[in-house]
Amino acid sequence: MAVAFALDQTTKQAAVVLLASGPLEVGFSRFGLIANPGGFLGFPVPLSQIVGATAAGLVFAGAGLRGAATAEVIGYGLFAGGAVGNLTDRIFHRAAFPPHAVVDWIAIPPGPTFNLADLFLVVGVLLLLLRRRTGRQIVSWSGS
């Protein structure tokens, strides 16, 4: 969770500084600043519901860790890191951004603009769903 959160916040701050003068196009990707006052991928959702859903998701993630396999731990960690990353944007105001807005900066046209927290949320949920569906270990850890 901490690694996902740190990567998200670091890249958002770098984007705010590096993309302040305008968007950058690299290959098929576009990097530009978007203030997202809505929910996931810009869907309009009241702030109270975003905070409530984030809190519920974090409780769910914490409860799921007991006896979890490696893929599940990684999935919950990515999910929690992404959720806390976007919630941090909503709580702590960034200069030049409206209050309670998330910094989105990555676009792969014709899709929406997003950030690493959004990516971590999606990958975390996919890992959890894949693990539940297959019942097999997807990622193994051979740490000592």
- Check 8, 72, 89, 104 and give the catalytic one: 104
How much is the CA Rg of the chain, to the nearest whole Å? 16
Residue 104 falls in the annotated catalytic set: yes
Instruction: State how beta strands 113-114 and 102-107 pair.
Output: antiparallel
- For residue 144, what pLDDT is reported? 45
> At 18, which helix (H) or strand (E)?
helix 2-18
The domain of 40 spans 2-13+28-133
Let me know if residue 6 belongs to a domain.
yes
Let me know if residue 20 belongs to a domain.
no
Let me know if residue 117 belongs to a domain.
yes
What's the total number of domains in the chain?
A: 1
Residue 8 falls in the annotated catalytic set: no
Let me know if residue 109 belongs to a domain.
yes
- Check 33, 102, 118, 120 and give the catalytic one: 118
Let me know if residue 97 belongs to a domain.
yes
Let me know if residue 23 belongs to a domain.
no
Q: What SS3 state is found at 108?
A: coil
Which parts of the chain have pLDDT scores under 70? 135-144
- For residue 26, what pLDDT is reported? 94
Let me know if residue 22 belongs to a domain.
no
Whether the model pTM is above 0.85: no
Let me know if residue 138 belongs to a domain.
no
